């Protein structure tokens, strides 16, 4: 797929999500994480993500109910994938409310949950987003989402198109 086509698709997704009645962390996460299925069996199976980490469902690297790490050969059903996504969002929402010194709007919280789901709570707690938000600098906090659009590929930190689109969407939601 050409990069121009990817940009148009990204803009279309952004438009749909931002202008639909309700944008939630679950909507953003499920859209960008996807639900990987084995091509032959159509089962939801564990796979290695860009960083080489075993992942399943909507980007889970562990079972949020038991703490068990995802490993090769693991298979879950769609109901379990949704259950894990909802539990993970609930856990992160609760943690973010404790980490943040200010009360976010619903949109700000959804954007921050989506980011924390992707980068982890510890990294979020130390992020420029959290620091700027707590300092009351909303624009700077929003712009800081764009810093988290990279991943390691072959040992080098590079901008990943999907992460870049996701961070832009989270930023727009945060400002909405």
Catalytic residue numbers read 33
Instruction: Give the Cα separation of 55 and 47 in Å (integer).
Output: 5
Q: Do residues 5 and 161 touch, judged by C-beta distance below 8 A?
A: no
3-state secondary structure the chain: CCHHHHHHHHHHHHHHHHHCCCCCHHHHHHHHHCCCECCCCCCEECEECCCCCEEECCCECECCCCCCECCCCCEECHHHHHHHHHHHHHHHHHHHHHHCCCCCCHHHHHHHHHHHHHHCHHHHHCCHHHHHHHCCCHHHHHHHHHHCCEEEECCEEEECHHHHHHHHHHHHHHHC
């Amino acid at each position: 797929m050409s990069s121009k086509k990817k940009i148009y698709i990204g803009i279309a997704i952004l438009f749909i999500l931002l202008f639909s009645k309700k944008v939630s962390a679950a909507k953003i996460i499920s859209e960008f994480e996807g639900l990987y299925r084995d091509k032959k069996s159509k089962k939801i199976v564990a796979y290695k993500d860009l960083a080489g980490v075993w992942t399943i469902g909507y980007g889970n690297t562990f079972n949020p109910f038991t703490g068990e790490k995802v490993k090769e050969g693991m298979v879950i059903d769609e109901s379990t994938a949704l259950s894990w996504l909802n539990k993970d969002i609930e856990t992160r929402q609760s943690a973010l409310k404790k980490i943040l010194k200010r009360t976010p709007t619903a949109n700000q919280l959804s954007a921050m949950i989506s980011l924390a789901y992707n980068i982890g709570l510890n990294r979020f707690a130390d992020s420029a987003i959290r620091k700027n938000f707590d300092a009351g600098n909303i624009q700077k906090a929003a712009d800081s989402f764009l810093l988290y659009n990279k991943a390691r590929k072959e040992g080098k930190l590079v901008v990943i198109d999907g992460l870049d689109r996701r961070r832009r969407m989270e930023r727009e939601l945060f400002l909405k």
